[in-house]
Chains A and B, each alone.
Chain A
Amino acid sequence: MDKTSEDVRLNSLTEKLRLRLDGDQLTNCMRCGFCLPACPTFAETGIEAESPRGRIALMKAVKDGIMAPDVAFEEQMNHCLGCRACEPACPADVKYGQLIEQARDAIEDHTKTHRGWVKLVRHTAFQTIFPNQKRVRWMGKGLRFYQTSGMRTLARKTGAMKMFPKHMREMEEILPDVAVQGVVEQIGILHPAKGEKIATVALFRGCLMDVLFADTNIHTVDLLTEAGFEVVIPEQQNCCGAMHAHSGEIEGARSLARSNISIFKAAGVDYIVSNAGGCGALLLEYDHLLHEDEQWKDDAMWFAERVIDVSDLLVRMGRLLVFSEREENQCVRITYQDSCHLRNVMRSSDAPRRLMRQVTGVEFVEMKEAERCCGSAGTYTLTQPVMSGQILDHKMEHVRATDAQYLLTSNPGCLLQMMHGINQHGLNGQMKAVHIVDFLHERMCGQDE
């Protein structure tokens, strides 16, 4: 790019950032630094720019005209995992998650640095596949064909996989087998409560969740009905839009939000239940996503107020479930990796732990820094493989130290990353990564009489 066109790009990006970045939020940052110890990228590097305080200072410097939003600025904004651990740590209640999304959104509009294939992948993913549940299923079918037709074996044997970067190869290895059908196709839409009904809830099935972990969705329904909830699964629901929002495709996220809101509103439910922290957190923030949309903001509020994670709903309102050991006299040791968005945005860390402790024959061991991001962070594994790998290595040291047989999580992204970590650190055979819902389902005996 020549000098003038680079200048034009910078000027126009500066303008966009000035418009989009929330000046109040930037001013609210007191620069006290309380966020620094909570930030995984600061913990890895010790560099101020890699901290929430540093990133906010950079945004403010751009807004104030002290610096240009150069490539280094863009890279720094993308270096943030978006785990939002800084938000609960912030006494001044700065909405960092909103600021980083505003910055990324402005950058995305202007980015010319994407290589051709990245552009193509982004376009296909954000505009073609994810906005449509059916297309997600088609993609799943393609993946399933790859897995079962012998292509996978062939690709691995012939070394064709070597064409891909190492981190993508490793991810391919741990990808679970795709389910033939999603939750609705397998068990239908309406599921009555066992015993007296406490409330009617809708399951948010997610897109990838329903392709890679359809069983987890089915198990979620079982746990909920057993605990006294009537469950409906609105069939037309779409991707939540989290991947769009976190990658700077805010408009895409908004349009998905509008569609989901009208579908769930029509279902007329008391709660909207999520079993994936990443999705749940964005669903919970639909009101913020659409707060400038006069036509939608009330409905968005209606929606956001009803979003709850499955563990939280079970603990807070469900009838007490009885869980027991799976095999006689065999005590298993388990540990838990928090989903960042479940913990930091949905503010749920106690409920999953309480459920795990309710299972008899199970010893729960808290791992060191369980609350710290595992490095998965949506597409971060693919876009920032070095930092992601470094964070995962530290995580696996803590996981190994627990000597647990089960590593439980509450989000598909974290679950895949933990499977990847177990594989990479040679812990296969000793330890298994499992979604908390699946673990509980396997040990569920019924309700407390």
Chain B
Amino acid sequence: MLKPEVKCELIAILGESYVKDDMQSRVTHSYDGTPMLQSLPDAVIYPYNTQQVSEVMKVLSRQRIPVIGRGSGTNLCGGTVPVLGGVVMVMHRMNQILEVDMENLTASVQPGLNTKQFTTHVEQLGLFYPPDPSSMSISTIGGNIAECSGGLRGLKYGTTKDYVIGLEAVLANGDIIRTGGKLMKDVAGYDLTKLLVGSEGTLAIITEATLKLVPPPKYKKTMLAMYKDLNGAARTVSKIIENRIIPATLEILDNSTIRVVDAFANLGLPLQMEAILLIEQDGEIESVERDIASITAICHSEQAEQISVAESAEEAERLLTARRSAFTALARLRPTTILEDATVPRSKIADMIIEINRIAAKHQVQICTFGHAGDGNLHPTALTDARNTDEIHRVEAAFEEIFEAAISLGGTITGEHGVGMVKAPFLEWKIGRSGIEVMKAIKHAFDPFNILNPGKVFAKESRKRVVIDRG
């Protein structure tokens, strides 16, 4: 619990209603979207502006109290679990769109702004903000920036990092910094903007962001290709890219995922298929039609059983929404769904899927796979029960091998969820000892007393793996 004098100081800054240390507030900020992780914070606070964040940080820094910035708590790496207690700083009251600059095609927003609300707002102005994490109807822009969220459009449009061009942030000691701005080019010193994006709340508290907007695509077309053979689907992915076609969305769903997604969204999908590809292309009408024709030919050449094109925008949206729900819909099969985030070069998709299936069989665990096939970003998802300790151990062992396999194929341990608590022991496999040292030095420069989201990214003990195969 907070010391009474600290609580008084925080109340003096934020007001009594916005400093909570009752059990109800603590319990409801002890988790995020990651299964099986929970830890009580000492208090929950709700700042309203940058000045308050700055003053709060001065107090917390002086007292060496951990602080965890939180949007809607939808992340999947344990990023907002207050593992060492401290204060959870909820950004929901800082949720304004400060400006949409129609001349520069930029927007300035506060971190607590809901992502979906923002994308809808800019769409109404005839503009487009492409990052679309599956949780976008709940998640916040600040949370997306902290975790560098990806989504279904990453293949063609990139992820959050490609759209954040400026930040205002409060450092651990309370200082306010500004990085970047409404500039498309800026090489004045180190790129602190890019460094803060994806830093998982360990370097600073983001209080404002300048985002790049683009003109919306004029036309789009969504299609489904269904396969009796999963490898055919995986080969299709590689072939599409090889043929120099970059779809806006290129998703893969395996059989179990198809079944649960269909049960949730009532889409009438063919349940006997081993895999489905969900493909969307956007752009000028002629090029979209040409690409869809080429993709259709590739699908046929890889023995797709059935190909269907969405008749309307609503139908297309329904397909995409169903895909976004895949993670939790899998909980219909078993109570605990552990979603992982292994990523490989996209030419290795088929190899990775084969490996995942082999490892799952070896450890006798049920793993479904879906994901952003076009990015090489797969989400092998274990269906288990948190109460079955033996099975959980086998799941952990399987995932360890899956991460090894991903790295061996030239991939990484996380493509979009971040390291957080879950991947921390594996980080050294990916970046090596020197990489860890550099990152720790950066962390120390920003946060010398380690109060910003401590216990994340860097593990106390790394998993030892002698050879790092760089493929």
Using a CB–CB cutoff of 8 Å, the interface residues on chain A facing chain B are 24, 27-28, 30-34, 36-37, 46-49, 54, 57-58, 61, 66-68, 70, 72-73, 76, 90-93
Contacts and interface: CB of A to CB of B under 8 A. Distances in A.
Interface residues of B, number: 39
B23 A33 contact: no
A405 B332 CA distance: 44
Contact of A90 (B34, B74, B328, B386): B328
Given A34-B325, A46-B92, A93 B332 contact: yes
Given A92-B329, A92-B331, A33 B33 contact: yes
Contacts of A73: 24
Contacts of B33: 30-33
A76 B24 contact: yes
A24 B335 contact: yes
Nearest to A51: B28
A77 B286 CA distance: 56
The residue among A32, A46, A49 with the most chain B CB atoms within 10 A of its own CB is: A32
Interface of B: 22-25, 27-35, 40, 72-74, 90, 92-93, 114, 116, 135, 137-138, 264, 325-329, 331-332, 335-337, 385-387
A49 B35 CA distance: 19
B23 A28 contact: no
Given A30-B35, A30-B337, A67 B93 contact: no
Contact of A32 (B29, B135, B332): B135
A28 B27 contact: no
A45 to B, nearest CB: 10
A34 B332 contact: no
Contacts, number: 93
A33 B74 contact: yes
Contacts of B93: 46
A338 B154 CA distance: 37
Given A34-B135, A37-B116, A54-B28, 18 more contacts: A27-B335, A27-B385, A27-B387, A28-B335, A30-B33, A30-B336, A32-B327, A32-B328, A37-B138, A47-B28, A48-B73, A58-B28, A72-B22, A72-B23, A73-B24, A91-B325, A91-B328, A91-B331
B29 to A, nearest CB: 6
Q: What 6 A-B pairs come out closest when comparing CB atoms? A: A92-B331, A91-B328, A91-B329, A91-B325, A48-B28, A54-B28
27 contacts: A24-B335, A27-B336, A28-B335, A30-B33, A30-B328, A30-B331, A31-B31, A31-B32, A32-B327, A32-B328, A34-B135, A34-B137, A34-B325, A37-B138, A47-B28, A48-B90, A49-B24, A49-B25, A57-B27, A57-B28, A57-B30, A72-B23, A72-B24, A73-B24, A90-B328, A91-B328, A92-B331
Nearest to B70: A48
The residue among A31, A37, A47, A91 with the most chain B CB atoms within 10 A of its own CB is: A91
A49 B72 CA distance: 12
A57 B31 contact: yes
Contacts of A46: 92-93
A279 B209 CA distance: 49
Given A24-B335, A46-B93, A34 B138 contact: yes
